[in-house]
């Protein structure tokens, strides 16, 4: 007789967990592990890391998913190592060797000169091994079939590149960049500017928006905790936009706000404000020039 197991009882869990994603699993797999440990009805991550990348992956649970896109669009910070001498089909260690070239003698002065050319507003051609889609199909699916299509360059910004260390055939960098930056492509471009080829052997995200990596916040750590201890680690649902202006709902209007209704308010215009009733966050709103409080994202807490 086939043995059956009871289904996991999902529940309403609301908040943000700052996961330190391990190597070897996809961001979606990491999300599902965290969501399962919290038994959360709903969850989403805030900017994918490849299986060969590790580090900060904020997980939004429940009502926090209403703010996740703010982290998707936020500035990210990475530490990465570029191995010099050959490129690969994927731009990292997963791919096959594609091109080889001797590495010129490196000096800190030469490296710094090259890195200076990679700061500011730039254009970057996305790699074939990416989740971008063509006619509904991810590019990485086409790439695995040996199909390559033309991709248009996209704007991105490198706020800062710091050289952490280097050897005769590798560089380790600290990079702060905008959404849409492919560090694998950046690594290849830096290697070519140095007169050789290269690919990434290490990629670790240490900051997303205003959140910093907490190294101990691993899946294994979550597994070792009780349910109450896990919940104590969650940041508030509004944590992704905690830097927004916070106001109290007009007296007697909190319930109306939660129904999506506008109110008069004596406050200067603002595109995005967090609205509270006491310490309870009701949601996100706009204050118009006509001093109207207009709900934009309503929380059901």
Catalytic residues: 50
What's CA 65's distance to the chain center, in Å? 13
Q: Are strands 154-167 and 170-177 parallel, antiparallel or unpaired?
A: antiparallel
Q: Are strands 170-177 and 76-84 parallel, antiparallel or unpaired?
A: antiparallel
Residue 280: CB atoms within 10 Å: 11
């Amino acid at each position: 007789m086939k043995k059956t197991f009871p289904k996991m009882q999902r529940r309403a869990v609301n908040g943000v967990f700052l996961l330190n994603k391990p190597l070897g699993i996809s961001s979606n797999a990491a999300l599902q592990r965290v969501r399962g440990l919290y038994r959360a009805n709903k969850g989403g991550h805030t900017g994918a890391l490849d299986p060969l990348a590790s580090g900060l992956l904020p997980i939004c649970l429940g009502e926090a998913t209403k703010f996740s896109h703010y982290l998707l669009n936020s500035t990210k910070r990475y530490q990465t190592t570029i191995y010099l001498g050959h490129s690969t089909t994927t731009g990292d260690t997963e791919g096959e060797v594609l091109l080889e070239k001797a590495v010129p003698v490196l000096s800190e002065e030469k490296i710094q000169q090259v890195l200076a050319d990679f700061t500011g507003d730039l254009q970057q051609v996305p790699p074939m091994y990416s989740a971008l889609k063509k006619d509904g199909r991810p590019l990485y699916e086409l790439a695995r079939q040996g199909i390559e299509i033309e991709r248009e360059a996209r704007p991105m910004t490198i706020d800062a590149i710091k050289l952490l260390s280097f050897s005769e055939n590798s560089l380790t960098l600290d990079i702060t960049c905008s959404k849409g930056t492919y560090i694998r492509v950046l690594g290849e471009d830096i290697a070519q500017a140095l007169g050789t080829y290269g690919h990434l052997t290490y990629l670790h995200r240490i900051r997303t928006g205003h959140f910093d990596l907490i190294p101990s916040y691993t899946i294994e750590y979550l597994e070792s905790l009780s349910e109450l201890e896990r919940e104590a680690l969650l940041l508030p649902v509004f944590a992704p936009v905690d830097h927004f202006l916070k106001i109290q709902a007009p007296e007697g209007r909190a319930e109306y706000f939660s129904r999506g209704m506008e109110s008069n308010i004596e406050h200067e215009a603002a595109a995005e404000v967090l609205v509270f009733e006491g310490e309870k966050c009701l949601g996100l709103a706009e204050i118009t020039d006509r001093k109207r409080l207009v709900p934009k994202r309503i929380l059901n807490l």
